[in-house]
Structure 1
Amino acid sequence: MTLELLIVPCLADNYAYLLHDAGSGTTAVVDVPEAAPVQQLLTERGWRLDTILITHHHNDHIAGVPTLASATGAAVIGAAADAHRLPPLTQAVHPGQVIEVAGHRTEILDAAGHTLGHIAFHMPLAGLLFSGDSLMSWGCGRLFEGSPAQMLATLTRMAALPDDTLVCSGHEYTEANGRFALSLEPEAPALRARMAEVQALRAEGRPTVPARLDLEQATNPFLRGTDPALKHALGLPPEASALDTFTEARARKDRF
């Protein structure tokens, strides 16, 4: 594998992701909350930026795109459905499309829920999922525009990817998300073990992303809609649907 992944801290708790393919010499970035940290890493590595990928239109994911695109001449790729509220796009894409990014096949996934036009980028051969604010480390994004059914459909699609997929989400929210998960199931061994690992990483100033998908499947309440233990923790009957479970968990997280 010739793809190198760099996590770029931005703003207070955002992340951009730089991807460099040594074989082709091409470089891409996923989301640009601010341009300066990305430009600094590009300069340090001596990389020329070819592509900017955008997951969704929120300012804390796109504010640095115009500056970075102007400085580098990089192509800007984002959702056709959101072109009217994104920086000018070089290529407008749709869920189901396949493109090449940094020398790698990249699938465009529908990630509606947090926003209606949200997309995600899946690189199957590299085992990477850039999920923005849809599936997040130990959580999921707040539903600003979409419905619980839309977000659950998004999370279900993502949960079906290979277990060793690395979920590259847009924020350092893992510890806060974990506190919510533990509020539901405070004695769950898997949750307690994950929190210990997360707190150790944060104590060292290290990011908690990316996270393996199988870890999310085991510990993320928003991926466990059929789990009897979670239903019980939420006060739901065993026959509650996955959508009922997700909706209740999301409502509680909004109040947490």
Structure 2
Amino acid sequence: MSCKILTIPCLSDNYAFALHHEQTGRTAIIDAPEAGPIITALRQAGWQADELWITHHHADHIDGTAALRDAFPDLTVVGADADAHRLPPLDRAVAAGQSFEFAGERVEVIDVSGHTVGHIAFHVPAAEAAFTADSLMALGCGRLFEGDAPMMWRSLSRLAALPPGTLICSGHEYTQANARFALTIEPGNDALRDRADRIDAARRAGEPTVPSRLDEEMATNPFLRAGLQTVKDAISMSHASDAEVFAEIRARKDRF
């Protein structure tokens, strides 16, 4: 699949994404925090929005939907059937575990409940990308507003099973703060310290820190590493279950 992915800053720290299939010219937008920056980015690229894929119901991921429909009257809006009652009107409702076709390519729908119940991620194998919004994030994961720690751990484990080179296209620019927290869990992790330095340099230059690669998340993100014995030992939970360790790390981040 020959495609391009645009990272589109929105609001104060949100990201939307545009996935453009070069052979067909079709473009999918993932999440709509606000319409203006998305429309501007598409016009600059010379693209039309054909589909909008919504990950979850929070306002900072859906508030631009109506204006995008106005700008692109043929827009097809896709979202989770289980969450349809609190999403904008959907043209296509999908369920976790299902797949659908975009520009002739398979899009896998993954249940990533935890931040919200009914949150989904979109994995496009041919593009080597997963659009994870507020589930797996760069060096972090979303707060548990509706789900619980075991639920989120199961969701992150599903994403961890994707191919290592998968681009993780997450929904916020939280990476610098996430790095500072991650270093409190694994201060001796050389890969993490190197990544933190690169993140600081990117932010000084005004550059986004997402997308990130899954293999880099596996090496540095404490929420994905909760099952490792070295991490369990580091937080004095050597004999705890993976989900219990994840819960403790999430609780520490909430207090950080």
Normalised to the residue count of structure 2, the TM-score between the two structures is 0.97
* Percentage of pairs with the same residue: 55
Q: Kindly indicate whether the alpha-carbon contact (under 8 Å) linking 2:35 and 2:65 is maintained by their aligned counterparts in 1.
A: yes
How many equivalent residue pairs? Answer: 255
SS in 2 for 1:155: helix
Q: CA deviation at 1:234?
A: 1.5
Q: Kindly indicate whether the alpha-carbon contact (under 8 Å) linking 2:15 and 2:172 is maintained by their aligned counterparts in 1.
A: yes
Deviations 1:213-239 (A, max 9, x none): 011111111111221221122221x22
Deviates more, 1:238-247 or 1:179-188: 179-188
Structure 1 counterpart of 2:19, one-letter code: L
* Matching of residues 192-207 of structure 1 within 5 Å: 192-207=193-208
Matched, 1:137 2:135: no
Q: Kindly indicate whether the alpha-carbon contact (under 8 Å) linking 1:28 and 1:102 is maintained by their aligned counterparts in 2.
A: no
**Other-structure match for 1:22:** 22
**Other-structure match for 1:111:** 112
**Other-structure match for 1:32:** 32
SS in 2 for 1:84: helix
Q: For the residues of structure 2 that align with 1:176 and 1:7, how far apart are their CA atoms?
A: 20
SS in 2 for 1:106: strand
**Other-structure match for 2:44:** 44
**Other-structure match for 1:153:** 154
Deviations 1:51-88 (A, max 9, x none): 00000000000010111012202010000111111111
Deviations 1:78-113 (A, max 9, x none): 001111111110011100111122442100000100
Q: Kindly indicate whether the alpha-carbon contact (under 8 Å) linking 1:8 and 1:37 is maintained by their aligned counterparts in 2.
A: yes
Q: For the residues of structure 2 that align with 1:137 and 1:207, how far apart are their CA atoms?
A: 11
RMSD value, Cα: 1.0
Q: CA deviation at 1:187?
A: 2.9
**Other-structure match for 1:255:** 255
**Other-structure match for 1:125:** 126
Deviates more, 1:6-15 or 1:42-51: 42-51
Runs of 4+, deviation exceeding 6 Å:
none
* Matching of residues 72-87 of structure 1 within 5 Å: 72-73=72-73, 74-87=75-88
Q: Kindly indicate whether the alpha-carbon contact (under 8 Å) linking 1:119 and 1:131 is maintained by their aligned counterparts in 2.
A: yes
Q: Kindly indicate whether the alpha-carbon contact (under 8 Å) linking 1:26 and 1:103 is maintained by their aligned counterparts in 2.
A: no
SS in 2 for 1:221: coil
Q: Kindly indicate whether the alpha-carbon contact (under 8 Å) linking 2:107 and 2:124 is maintained by their aligned counterparts in 1.
A: yes
Q: Kindly indicate whether the alpha-carbon contact (under 8 Å) linking 1:21 and 1:103 is maintained by their aligned counterparts in 2.
A: no
Deviates more, 1:26-35 or 1:219-228: 219-228
SS in 2 for 1:7: strand
